């Protein structure tokens, strides 16, 4: 349980926090650390970011936030998310997100910053942050869906399917669950067969021409989460979420 790193030309970072991959603050930092180790290894040519269980990621661990008095858990989770999302983006080699089941909140942050996404035919992507009294990862959702749909998804908390994203061109391939890792490795092998120095420079150059500074944009969003928590809206929403469950 936790974060596993399997090193090699095609490295794997595996998320495993049963039952739904709601990731605690330390887990986000562990994702960032694993990606940094994989990217710094000259042997690595591609990283596959995947998860065990029925869903890729349910976002932050809200129960952890409610267990810790004050704002320390929220601050730790927000810094952890920023570190993990940034590590996906900054990884010197391409990162392929292999998404199954649900991809919510912070999961969208991971997938949205990935270079490529493959997903199962039952996968859904969503930002339920408004219902949780928080904001964030619209920066990353905007890399997956058109702008007006991104706004609709933020306001309504409606999810979209992997097939929708495939039509937009932001999910490369939609496959049955049993074939997800295989599909991710197929495209990883195609990339790994290229000159590794050229691929690393390609990743650097593509990040350099991005129209949005994803790290600064996300931290701007997070400021409103702090505001909502200070005025009590965040706490009310988290309590309501846990009571409904």
Closest-CA residue to 78 (of 128, 30, 150, 134): 134
Residue 87: CB partners within 8 Å, gap ≥ 6?
31, 32, 33, 35, 36
The structural domains of the chain, with segments of one domain joined by +, span 2-177+202-244
Sheet holding 102-104, edge to edge: 102-104, 124-126, 160-161
DSSP bridge partners of 97:
49, 117
Domain 2-177+202-244: CATH superfamily is: 2-enoyl-CoA Hydratase; Chain A, domain 1 (3.90.226.10)
Contact 56, 107 (CB under 8 A): yes
Backbone angles phi, psi at 50, to 5 degrees: -135, 180
Closest-CA residue to 223 (of 141, 139, 119): 139
Report the chain's mean pLDDT, rounded to a whole number.
95
Rounded CA Rg of the chain:
17
Contact 120, 100 (CB under 8 A): yes
Per-residue pLDDT for 69 more than 80?
no
For 151-204, how does the pLDDT look when each residue is reduced to its tens digit (9 = 90+)?
A: 999 999 999 999 999 999 999 999 999 999 999 999 999 999 999 999 999 999
For 80-90, how does the pLDDT look when each residue is reduced to its tens digit (9 = 90+)?
A: 999 999 999 99
Separation CA 27–CA 108 (nearest Å): 16
Q: What predicted TM-score, i.e. pTM, was given to this entire model?
A: 0.96
Note the pLDDT of residue 80.
97
Dmax (CA) for the chain in angstroms is 53
Contact 54, 21 (CB under 8 A): no
Q: How far is CA 4 from the centre of its chain?
A: 16
Contact 96, 51 (CB under 8 A): no
Under the banding of pLDDT at 50, 70 and 90, the label for residue 70 is confident
**Looking at residues 27-35, what average pLDDT do you find?**
98
For 192-230, how does the pLDDT look when each residue is reduced to its tens digit (9 = 90+)?
A: 999 999 999 999 999 999 999 999 999 999 999 889 988
**Looking at residues 57-76, what average pLDDT do you find?**
86
Separation CA 184–CA 79 (nearest Å): 29
Asked which of 75-79, 94-98, 124-128, 216-220 is least confident by mean pLDDT, the reply is 75-79
């Amino acid at each position: 349980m936790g974060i596993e790193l399997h090193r090699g030309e095609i490295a794997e970072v595996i998320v495993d926090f049963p039952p739904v991959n709601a990731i605690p603050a330390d887990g986000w930092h562990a994702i960032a650390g694993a990606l940094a180790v994989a990217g710094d290894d000259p042997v690595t040519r591609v990283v596959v970011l995947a998860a065990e269980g029925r869903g890729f990621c349910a976002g932050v661990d809200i129960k952890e936030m409610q267990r810790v008095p004050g704002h320390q858990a929220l601050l730790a989770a927000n810094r952890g998310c920023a570190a993990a999302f940034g590590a996906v983006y900054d990884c010197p080699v391409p990162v392929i997100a292999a998404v199954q089941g649900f991809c919510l909140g912070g999961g969208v942050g991971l997938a949205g910053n990935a270079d490529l996404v493959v997903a199962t035919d039952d996968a859904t992507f969503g930002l339920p942050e408004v219902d949780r009294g928080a904001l964030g990862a619209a920066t990353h959702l905007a890399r997956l869906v058109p702008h007006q749909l991104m706004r609709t998804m933020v306001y309504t908390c409606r999810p979209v399917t992997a097939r929708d994203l495939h039509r937009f061109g932001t999910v490369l391939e939609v496959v049955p669950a049993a074939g997800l890792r295989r599909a991710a490795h197929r495209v990883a092998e195609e990339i790994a067969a290229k000159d590794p120095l050229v691929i690393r420079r390609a990743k650097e150059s593509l990040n350099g021409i991005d129209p949005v500074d994803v790290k600064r944009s996300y931290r701007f969003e997070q400021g409103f989460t702090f505001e909502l928590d200070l005025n009590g809206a965040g706490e009310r929403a988290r309590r309501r979420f846990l009571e409904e469950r």
